[in-house]
Structure 1
Amino acid sequence: MSFQSTVLCSTLVKLPMNDFDLVHRRLSSVTQSAPPVLSVLPTRALVDEKFKVVVENLPPGSPVTLHSLHQSEDKDYWEAFGHYISDHRGVVSVAEDLSFGGTYTGTEVMGLLWSMRPVPGSRAGIRLRKKNVCTPMLINISVCRGHLAEGFRDQCPLASVLIERWYLAPGVRRIDISEKGVRGTLFIPPGPGPFPGVLDMWGGGGGLLEYRSSLLASRGFASFALEYVKPGEMEKADVGLSYFETAFNILKDHPQVIPDRIGIFGFCLGSIVAMYLVTESNVIKPLCCVSVGGFHFVLHEFTVRGIHKLTVKHFNMIRVDENNHQIWRDIGPEILKDPSKKLNVEKINCPVLLVSGHDDQTMAAGENAEDLFRRMKATGKEHLLTSLQYPDAGHQIQPPFSPHYRASYSMSNAQKVMVLWGGQTKPHSDAQEDSWKKILAFLQHHLYSRITPKARK
């Protein structure tokens, strides 16, 4: 009980009975004058951790809008919002209550993150990806009176909280790598080590992306984010098998890495490279492989530029949708019509985890996963394959709670084009959350489970 209400109650015994209603109104006024309280816990966490959002001290049955806002490193604003009604106690709990409208509906604990979209009037075709993992994503969570769908900047929120979302856990070390012609960034988990290692390769957009590797290191794996093609320069990238073998060995030889406990993680073009290493390299022997959003084939002379040339030969298979977004999904199946291009599954000798969305409009990864399983079953190697397939997920399966973008600009043949990645926001986001848990469990099982005490020293 507050100090004010205590004073009023002590006064009550001295008043005549006919003044009771007056005191009751004064008590009600004190109670209702308490401002709404917004809490977000934890306010500082890794990006794959959930938070709880609760609003208290609202009038019962009040319509309110919870709103999230983030300014990216490219200075673009992203937002999400949900419409709620407070319960009989004047409380809204995002983990328990329904959103009746907004960028997401239903009971969605993390809807204020995964349903983020560019604010109205933003540049077309943008995507949200963290560049500097040494700083957090800052997100402002606020609560506004009424059910709003626009004009949030013109509102004076009832309450707001600034939260931090990190890819890099405290104690993770970031090490620039530039040796033997190889470029990238190595992330070492906190603690004495040594640790199992992961060679992490992104897609054909090029450049050095560190956010997944830093998150893997935050979860206990020494992760090497590899740069192997400059942005928009696939056609010039004379990078072959030896480059990736050298990168693998740099990771293996690091004193904080257990040399016989290394896996490979590839997305998009990186998944093509990963599976090629698993089947064709005579130099390295990864312990396991994670492939996200890829189709898999072999080339007589394997280079990134060679992959680009083969893809360009089938650019006649590119279609456009009603929004003039490019659809690339038919290129992979067309390449694999040539039996000589199919991956030699008999050479797969380590566990493989395939993650694919059936609405992938870029790589037809779902069809590829089914074909790969049939061929591995025919050779008695299906026990090495685990396939996670998500019906309404698209190509860009990212770490959990990352905003979904169905289409965005990408570089193709040195030109900027709008590419359709696919996916529906809610099921795609569910796929990101579910697959990340299973990817970490897969890596934990195959890279950690058989470590002997001697190997840890």
Structure 2
Amino acid sequence: MAQSAPPVLSVVPTRALVDEKFKVLVENLAPGSPVTLHSLHQSEDQDYWEAFGHYISDHRGVVSVAEDLSFGGTYTGVEVMGLLWSMRPAPGSHDCKRLRKKNVCTPILVSISVYRGHLAEGFRDQSPLASVLIERWYMAPGVQRIDIREKGVRGTLFIPPGPGPFPGMLDMWGGGGGLVEYRTSLLASHGYASFALEYFPPGAMWKADVDLSHFETAFNILKDHPQVIPHRIGIFGFCLGSTVAMHLVTESSIIKPLCCVCVSGFHMTVPEFTVKKVHELMVKHSNVVRLDENNHEIWRDLGPEMIKDPSYKLNVQKINCPVLLVSGHEDQNCAAVENAEDIFQSMTVLGKEHLVTSVQYPGAGHMIEPPFSPHSSAIPFVFKAKIKSKWACGGQPKPHSDAKEDAWMKILAFLQHHLYFCTTPKAKM
């Protein structure tokens, strides 16, 4: 008797940007066969991350992740990208890790495998029926990566492929510090000359004596690059970077961004603004910090506490460019939803509400990043010199993943509209 053909696993495409979806298909199974689809990635920290779903083949002996239910595993239901967004540290790896790409010049390698039966552990001790290795990239082919070290500014500029010039983006991350390139390189892959700014070293917020002139200099370095359209530049800020971004669009008389994206941010200020002074104000009010059930620090009450003093509240009514505010209702690090609502109300008083777009996500936490990356429930943070904490981020894996996917699409649409297709709406006087 002829032997039946072995199962065939296909993943299409096997090489793509991290924000692109793939299709996973298993064929040549016996009808009604229980199988487990499993993903495995070894991070740059040498930790293993995995996800898995339990499936049953249809009458044709086929499992399609895009159409079929997962009956168990790290995700359930029809989840096209569940094998990525539901990844978690594999047994033996460190807890409270954050999967974050450091070297964007190399891909994220993920092994997708199919196993017989419904498994929940011991994947590396068994032989899969079939496996496929896929590549997930932040940098599209042809994107240029350029180190910037001038005028006291440190960062990385990513130039899209093609003749240019292109609209520009100044990209700023939060209080963890360091040079973070993955979102910036992905923006370049979507057509924006994007500048990842390192405005203080990792863990050094407490001594970052950096004022607005530093960010204005960075903006002008981007503006003056020959591959950048000088009058079409936006600003992108996350967490502390959002605070900086709001300062630039309200307080700077030197630069004029065309639009601004703020994710999980708050609109506080200090006299003679510097990052170090923001940190000092946080320390002053850190008595409102509390712990969750895992002893992770909840900081969301800090922002509202600080701006009880009106002198610490940024005058957002001076905004004169379109602003997109992205926030999660379960953010445990920042009262971002309340912040967005206050900004909208303040702008409405002056008839400038048309400049503010606010998108809010129930079930989402603090780390609203590009889509399909695993959820981070807490992140390590150096709050004071040599004093490390674990900050609660909040959010639930499934709604948080949905928020990241939807927010990223809205961000790209917002940038395309304002940086490619139109000029800045005029504020009502």
TM-score by length of 1: 0.91
| Amino acid aligned to 1:256 | Q
Are 1:301 and 2:249 an aligned pair?
A: no
- Secondary structure of the 1:144 match is strand
Aligned counterpart, 1:216: 187
| Amino acid aligned to 1:421 | C
Aligned counterpart, 2:427: none
Aligned counterpart, 2:420: 448
Match of 1:424 among 380, 396, 401: 396
Distance of 1:344 and 1:48 partners within structure 2: 35
Partner deviation per Cα, 1:218-240 (whole Å, 9 max, x = no partner): 00000000000111111111100
Distance of 1:336 and 1:172 partners within structure 2: 42
Match of 1:131 among 102, 117, 122: 102
Give identity over the alignment, percent. 78
Q: Give 1 or 2: higher helix fraction.
A: 1
- Secondary structure of the 1:242 match is helix
Partner deviation per Cα, 1:122-179 (whole Å, 9 max, x = no partner): 1122100000000000000000000011110111000000000000000000000000
Distance of 2:144 and 2:32 partners within structure 1: 49
- Secondary structure of the 1:245 match is helix
Aligned counterpart, 1:237: 208
Match runs of 1:396-411 below 5 Å? 396-411=367-382
Aligned counterpart, 1:93: 64
| Amino acid aligned to 2:279 | H
Match of 1:435 among 404, 407, 417: 407
Partner deviation per Cα, 1:366-418 (whole Å, 9 max, x = no partner): 11111111111112111100001001100001101011011132221132211
Aligned length, in residue pairs: 422
Distance of 1:99 and 1:124 partners within structure 2: 26
Match of 2:170 among 165, 188, 199: 199
- Secondary structure of the 1:300 match is coil
Distance of 1:151 and 1:233 partners within structure 2: 41
Kept after mapping to 1: 8 A contact 2:269/2:278: no
Aligned counterpart, 2:233: 262
Aligned counterpart, 2:143: 172
Distance of 2:294 and 2:66 partners within structure 1: 36
| Unaligned ranges ≥5, structure 1 | 1-25, 452-457
Match runs of 1:359-370 below 5 Å? 359-370=330-341
Aligned counterpart, 1:3: none
Distance of 1:270 and 1:120 partners within structure 2: 34
Deviation (angstroms), 1:420: 0.6
| Amino acid aligned to 1:448 | Y
Are 1:247 and 2:247 an aligned pair?
A: no
Are 1:313 and 2:303 an aligned pair?
A: no
Distance of 2:164 and 2:68 partners within structure 1: 43
Distance of 2:229 and 2:165 partners within structure 1: 6
Aligned counterpart, 1:37: 8
Kept after mapping to 1: 8 A contact 2:17/2:140: yes
Deviation (angstroms), 1:298: 2.1
Are 1:181 and 2:152 an aligned pair?
A: yes
Deviation (angstroms), 1:346: 2.2
Aligned counterpart, 2:42: 71
Distance of 1:450 and 1:205 partners within structure 2: 35
Distance of 1:72 and 1:242 partners within structure 2: 37
Deviation (angstroms), 1:95: 0.1
Match of 2:355 among 363, 381, 384: 384
Kept after mapping to 1: 8 A contact 2:178/2:200: yes
Kept after mapping to 2: 8 A contact 1:358/1:367: no
| Unaligned ranges ≥5, structure 2 | 424-429
| Amino acid aligned to 1:213 | T
Partner deviation per Cα, 1:278-324 (whole Å, 9 max, x = no partner): 00000000000000001111221100101100111011010001211
- Secondary structure of the 2:183 match is helix
Aligned counterpart, 1:155: 126
Match of 2:302 among 331, 352, 367: 331
| Structure 1 residue ranges, 4+ long, deviating more than 3 angstroms after superposition | none
